Amino acid sequence: MNAALTFAMVSLHFPGMKAFSVSPLDVSGDFINFEAFKVLALAISGTAIVIVIGAQFNYMVENRTWMENINELRTPLTIVLC
């Protein structure tokens, strides 16, 4: 199953990349709509902040769960050794 999925991804990668085209923006200074670029930059930075905050929240939850599991595993060991 993994081989079939890998083959499907690899075989569809090249036609997809061939259909995709990238054209650079004109950054000469005479922008058509400067406000649109400011809103786009704000949206991108806002999305990045949401991703970073989500990652920090996930780290805190995982770390707390990990510490609770370590303490739960140590309890029977201390009962046996004492």
Per-residue pLDDT reduced to its tens digit, 53-72: 999 999 998 988 888 888 88
Model pTM?
Answer: 0.49
CA distance 74 to 14: 52
pLDDT of 82 > 80? The answer is no
List CB contacts of 37: < 8 A, sequence separation 6 or more.
31
Range of the domain at 60: 35-82
CA distance 28 to 8: 42
The rounded mean pLDDT for the chain is 84
Total domains in the chain come to 1
Q: Which two tokens stand for residue 17?
A: 């990349």
> Does the residue 29 lie in any domain?
no
> Does the residue 53 lie in any domain?
yes
> Does the residue 60 lie in any domain?
yes
Q: Which two tokens stand for residue 16?
A: 């997809």
> Does the residue 56 lie in any domain?
yes
Q: Which helix (H) or strand (E) holds 66?
A: helix 34-81
Average pLDDT over residues 23-27: 70
Indicate left, alpha or beta for 29 from its phi (over 0: left) and psi (-120 to 50: alpha).
left
Q: Which two tokens stand for residue 40?
A: 């786009």
